[in-house]
Structures are given as structure tokens and as C-alpha cells.
Chains A and B, each alone.
Chain A
Amino acid sequence: MTKSRPQALKPRTQLPKSPTGIQGLDEITGGGLPKGRPTLICGGAGCGKTLLAMEFLVRGATQFNEPGVFVAFEENAKDLTKNVASLGFDLKDLISRKKIVVDFVYVGDGALEATGEFNLDGLFIRLEHAIDAIGAKRVVLDTIETLFSGLPNPLILRAELRRLFRWLKDKGVTAIITGERGEATLTRQGLEEYVSDCVIVLDHRVSDQVSSRRLRVVKYRGSTHGTNEYPFLIDEDGISVLPVTSLGLQQIASTARIPTGVARLDSMLGGAGYYRGSSVLVSGTAGTGKTSLAAHFVAAACRRGERALYFAFEESPSQIMRNMRSIGIDLEQWVQKGLLRFQANRPTFAGLEMHLTTIHKAIKAFEPQVVVVDPLTSFISGGNETEVKAMVMRLVDLLKISQVTSLFTSLSLSGAALEQTQVAIASLVDTWLLLRDIEIGGERNRGMYILKSRGMAHSNQIREFLLTDYGVELRDVYVGPSGVLTGSARLVQEAQEQAALMTRNQEVERRQIELERKRTTLEAQIVALRAEFAVQEIASMKIIGQEQAENAQLAQERTDMGLSRKADATPNKQKGGSK
């Protein structure tokens, strides 16, 4: 927007920021922590303050060429090095390369005698010495509130802290100050009064016996920032914050299509399958073939040479592979070729956010074109539907933005309305395939239809869904006066129809033969009549000839007779002579 109207809007002067390099945090803060200013990070015990601060320093030193000083008030350098080694940070190496200085400040156990006024020049001098030694641009004070337990006279301490933060600003270093969460205040000693540029709160919460860590930017002076609570994860790669809810709806919709793996289903979906980057929901009651459909989809993707990621929450990878082999889908070959990766976890293994984050990370690492989540419904455990929905929404967003085609399976409980998925996510997905069982004649058969498929013409018919040795097959169901027939009822009906057809065919044949026979008969009669006529004609012609001959004979005879009598040879002479 600013680009289109450069004259009308003054170019925004963005606050200079110092990137943290922490996955997701830079997105929330719009580029990092305020450069050259102190940032307060507070939270309860064990919520990851020290790690966040340490990662800020390590990333700064390794990625942004900004050396850093870590002033540890609680742990000594040795313990700290050990602790962060589990996150893959080689602190020892960074220290020896003069990228990081760790200064352990032992505050003491309060057994100090205080006799009159003092200041914290000792700390200032140490800090300055450390900063100057490596030309540090980043400083972490972890946790400075320890001073209050070790040193007497809080009044002096407060004044000195105020001076310290101002001094840090003057020094131009980007600082992180950590603080323990207090009862009513953000930190026990109210540090937020002194550090007012940026305040980030970390939280560690347990709900349904599953704990999750969250991060929130409470305040960021002079900058916009995401205000939500973002879940974050600490694992072997450090911290990753998941700012998925900050995503908007700006995904690019692809017009490319991607086959479903079942040819008949492709033709039901306008002949070409799903849209690339769309989300597909396959819902149905137990045993209706959701996983089989997913396996088809995955196998088809791998056959095209695409990568597929399969998140299994109820079956182990080997179980899925065995089961799919029974319907003729060999998934193992794709796993061996590295095109298919399974990630199997119990839903209860972690909180929703943690799952989302692991999914996010796995997608980032593997970069699949196709993702299957099987089944989505296993996340629901007592009244957390809204959370699940929020999670699914974020997941769908994430997948769409990475142009990943996703297939979710969802188990509907029998008895419940089929159109009502357990997680009300129907509105989020683009294509919804409904698998249902149809009970007729003491049989249970599978039926499938497309409930919706955005942006494409799709079949509105129910298909019978068969699991054969060669995979999923879709058949037309019999729809007649007695309703929808499937299974053997359909077979019977088909046989009956076959018989009826045969009868009809025979009837036609019979009539044709009869017609032919009639024609032959008539033609024979015609020939006979013609022959008869010919005979009669000849006879008649003969008589006519005789009679003509006889007539001629008579005339001749009369002439001859007159001549012989000579009586009046010429009538004219006779007339004249008698006068």
C-alpha cells in the first residue's frame, strides 16, 4: 500500500530491530527485539527464560555477527554450558572464539554485612569490561532480581537498576533482562517499571495433564507486534515459536490438480482430482476405509516423485504399511526411497500446541507436497473442541501457505449425524468426502459421496466403495424404486436386470426371425403368382394371335369368293352399266 502512494504517506521509520534468530519470534515481533534497548523477559520457573536469552545470544554470535555477554546470576558458566549443549549450542567453542562471554556473578547468600551506602559500580565495571573485551552488541542479565536476595537495601538496588538499564541503553547494546513472575506484577521486583521498551511474558501451563509453553509480547514500544499467546517448543534445535494464528488469508489458490490415487474418484471430482494446496477431509464411521483412501493418495503422490508426510495418531507406521499391503498398496518402497515419511505419535504424548509445533517443524524439515493427518479426531479429549478447532485452523492455514495438499481423516461416531464432524472443521476444508456404511439385507457395505468440493464440478452420486486386493474401487450403486442397493443386494439386482435384458433380447430376435420368415413366404408367393401370370399371358397371346389370323382368313375368303362370282367385280361399273 505504501508503495503505491509514496507521496501521500510518509515512509514509515521502522524502529531498528535486532533479529533473535529464534524461529517464529522474529515474525511476531516484526523483526526482532528493539535494537540497543533492554527487553524484559519474565515468567515462572522452568518456562524457558534462560534458554530464550541464551539462544538470542548464540544466534546473534553465530548468525548475525553480534557477540554477546551473558551475565549469569544463578548458574555458573560450567552448568550453563552443559545445559545449553542439549540444545545444540557449543558455548565452549563460542567462548574460546571470543564470540560470547559468560560472566557468573555470585551474589552470595545474604551473609554480607552492609555498613552504609554503596552502589553497583562493581557490576557496571565487570559488564563494561566484558562488553569491551569482545565488542559485544548483545547482553543478557539472567536473572538480575537475584540481586535483591543477596544484597541489602532494596532502595539503593532499585536506583542502581534504573541506572543500569539507562547505562545499557547508552552503551547501545541490545539487552535481555529476565525476571521471575511475581504475584500481581509481571516480575517479583517490578522490573517492568524500568524496562519499558519491550516486555515478553513466558508461561508454562498444564491443562488436561498436558503442559504447553506459551509466549506473549505484552508490550513493544514503537512497533506493532502480534498480541496473541503463541505456543512455543524447546527441543534439540532450540526454541521455536509458532505464530500460526498471525497468518492471514492471503494464500495463493493454485489451479493445478492433483490425482486422488483412485481413478474413479478423480472422475467424480471433475475428472482431475483435488486442487493442489487444498485441504481434504475424509470423514466416516469406523472401518469405512478412511486410511485406505489416505494411503492411495500418498502412494499416488510418491509415484509421481513427490514427498509425502504421514502423521499417524492411532496406528504405528508398520501397522499401516502391513494393512495397506493387504489391499495392494505397497507403502514400504516409498519409505525406503525417502519419499514417504511417517510420524507416529499418540495424541496424548503432548499438548495440542506441541503437536502443532512438531507438525510445523516436520513440514519445514521434510518439505512435503502432500500431508496426511490420520485421524484428526483423536485429538479430542473432553471439551477441548474449540482448541482443537483452533489448532486445525492454524494447521490448515500453515499447509495452505506452503502449498501442501492435505488430507485429514475424521472418525464420526455411529449414531451421530454424519454430516457433523467431531471437530467442526467442515467449513475449513475445501473438499469433503463422506464415507458411510449402508445396511441392507443383513449386510454392511461402504458408500462414498462428495459432500462438497469447492471450486469444481463434482459428482453428486453415491458410489459403492469396495476394498479389493488391488485397492479401493468405486462402483455405481443401484438406485431404484426400492432405494439404494449395495453389496449382494446390488449383485442380485444386477443379475435380475441381466436376466430381464436377456429375455428382451431373445424376444427381439424371435420377432426378427418371424419377420424374415414372413418375407420369405410372401416373396415365394409373389414368384409363383408371377409364373402363373406369365403362363396365362402366353396362352392369351396365343388366342389373340389365332383370332387375328382367323379374321384375316375370313376377309381373304370373302374377297376370293367375290372374285370367283365375278358379279359385280367393281360396284361402280355395276351402277353405271345399269342406266
Chain B
Amino acid sequence: MTTDPTMPATPKAKPDRPARVGTARKAKPDTYILRLYVAGQTPKSIAALANLKKICEEHLAGRYQIQVVDLLENPQLARGDQILAIPTLVRKLPLPVRKIIGDLSNTERVLIGLDLLPRE
């Protein structure tokens, strides 16, 4: 797990330590733990992260954590969250787990996927 260095505002998560997510939840119960799976620094992943940050800042300011997992570095992590498509955003918390795939360019669909907007 690595944090994208281009996004300084993100609270950092240490690589390979999903347990830390649990700790974070205890500290802040209403925090959104969001994990973005990418494979290398492709334009699509960069765009996805940028889009995600923008959305979080607008809708979840102060109560979110973004972890970025680069599968090229940690391929074994793909199994845990059943990752097929890249990029995939996984909402680890709050439960239930939600997955959103793609470059997150459609803000409305991302919000629906994160349950921040009701589904029609």
C-alpha cells in the first residue's frame, strides 16, 4: 500500500497494513476509509485519484482516509478485495463494502456508489 505522493492532503496509510484501518475506525467512527487500487502510474490511475480527492474534499471533508494500493508492487493484495478491474475504489468503511470501478470521472455515479446519494 502506498500513498500517492502527488496528493499531500491525504492522511497517510502505511503500506501492507490493512489492520491499521481498524484502528482508524475506532478513532473516528464516521470516517470513510477508501482504498484505491491502481497498477502503476497510468494516466487512468492518476485521473482516478485526482477525481476521488476532489469528490472527497467536496462531500466528505475531514472524515475520510484514502489508501492507494499499487498492485504492481503488491500483487498479492488483489486477492483480498477481489480486484479485477483497474482502477477500483473500495469503500472499506463504513460497511457494507462498496466497489466502484473506472476512473471516477462521473461524480454522480461515484456518490451513488459511496451511498452519498440515494440510488434511483
A residues at B contact (CB < 8 Å): 103, 105-108, 112-126, 128-129, 147, 151-152
Contacts and interface: CB of A to CB of B under 8 A. Distances in A.
A259 to B, nearest CB: 67
Given A119-B85, A124-B39, A129-B76, 17 more contacts: A105-B84, A112-B100, A113-B112, A115-B106, A115-B109, A116-B48, A116-B102, A116-B103, A117-B44, A117-B102, A118-B86, A120-B86, A121-B86, A122-B83, A123-B85, A125-B75, A125-B78
Contacts of B85: 118-123, 151
Contacts of B105: 115-117
Nearest to B40: A121
Nearest to B39: A121
B79 A113 contact: no
Interface in B56-71: 71
A108 B87 contact: no
A106 B99 contact: no
A112 B78 contact: no
Contacts of A112: 99-101, 113
Give the interface centre of B75, B76, B101, B109 by most chain A CB atoms within 10 Å. B101
Contacts of A118: 44, 85-88, 101-103
A110 B67 CA distance: 24
B22 to A, nearest CB: 22
B72 interface: yes
Nearest to B100: A113
A151 B72 contact: no
A107 B83 CA distance: 9
Contacts of A151: 84-85, 101
B32 interface: no
A129 B76 CA distance: 7
Contacts of B83: 122, 126
Interface in B23-53: 37, 39, 44, 48
B102 A122 contact: no
Given A108-B82, A122-B78, A113 B99 contact: yes
Contacts of B76: 129
B104 A122 contact: no
Given A121-B71, A129-B78, A115 B102 contact: yes
Nearest to B99: A112
Contacts of B93: none
B105 to A, nearest CB: 4
Nearest to A157: B85
Contacts, number: 92
Contact of B110 (A113, A117, A120, A128): A113
Given A113-B112, A115-B110, A120 B104 contact: no
Nearest to B37: A122
B69 to A, nearest CB: 10
Contacts of B75: 125-126, 128-129
B62 to A, nearest CB: 23
A122 B84 CA distance: 4
Nearest to A156: B85
25 contacts: A105-B82, A114-B101, A115-B102, A115-B104, A115-B105, A115-B109, A115-B110, A115-B113, A116-B102, A117-B44, A118-B44, A118-B88, A120-B85, A122-B39, A122-B78, A122-B85, A124-B39, A125-B39, A125-B75, A126-B79, A128-B75, A129-B75, A129-B76, A129-B78, A151-B84
A124 B78 CA distance: 10
B47 to A, nearest CB: 8
Contacts of A125: 39, 71-72, 75, 78
B14 to A, nearest CB: 21
Task: State the 3 A-B residue pairs at the shortest beta-carbon distance, nearest first.
Answer: A113-B113, A121-B86, A129-B75
Contacts of B78: 122, 125-126, 129
A118 B37 CA distance: 11
A3 B72 CA distance: 52
Contacts of B104: 115-116
Nearest to A160: B85
Contacts of B84: 105, 107, 120, 122-123, 126, 147, 151
B79 to A, nearest CB: 6
Contacts of B79: 103, 126
A147 to B, nearest CB: 7
A107 B88 CA distance: 13
Give the interface centre of A114, A118, A129 by most chain B CB atoms within 10 Å. A118
A120 B102 CA distance: 10
A147 B106 CA distance: 22
A115 to B, nearest CB: 4
Nearest to B75: A129
Contacts of B48: 116
B120 to A, nearest CB: 13
